[in-house]
Amino acid sequence: QSALTQPASVSGSPGQSITISCTGTSSDVGSYNLVSWYQQHPGKAPKLVIFEVSHRPSGVSNRFSGSKSGNTASLTISGLQAEDEADYYCSSYAGGVVFGGGTKLTVL
């Protein structure tokens, strides 16, 4: 169960859009539409923002969207806000569950 690959960091200015990639293999991301994304602020528990590739839980802003192509999933945050600055993790079903290494989003 190797970790999914995410960029270590991304940044954007308020109002802009950013995309975080999450690359796996044909055994995880590529095989199942069971990719999730989590937001984690420092010292806080993770919060689910996307599940099953592109579904938003109730209460999550529609500025968050997800997609998948082949072995790579993506999280897009549009209209960046200061409160979006956090760590973001992808995960995929793979028999068990495998997480990505995390991406630190900086809002400039």
Q: Which residues of the shown chain bind another protein in the complex (CB under 8 A)?
A: 1, 3, 32, 34, 36, 38, 40, 45-48, 51-52, 57, 87, 89, 91-93, 95-102
Smallest gap from Cβ 53 to another protein, in A, equals 11
**Closest CB to another protein among residues 53, 77:** 53
- Measured CA to CA, the distance from residue 85 to residue 16 in angstroms comes to 13
Smallest gap from Cβ 68 to another protein, in A, equals 13
Other C-beta atoms closer than 10 Å to the C-beta of 70 total 10
- In this structure, the chain runs to a length of 108
**Closest CB to another protein among residues 43, 62:** 43
Smallest gap from Cβ 11 to another protein, in A, equals 19
**Closest CB to another protein among residues 13, 45:** 45
In a 13 Å sphere around the CA of 42, the CA atoms on its Cβ side amount to 5
Element (H, E) at 61: none
Q: In the beta sheet, which residues pair with residue 98?
A: 92
Structure tokens at 78: 């549009």
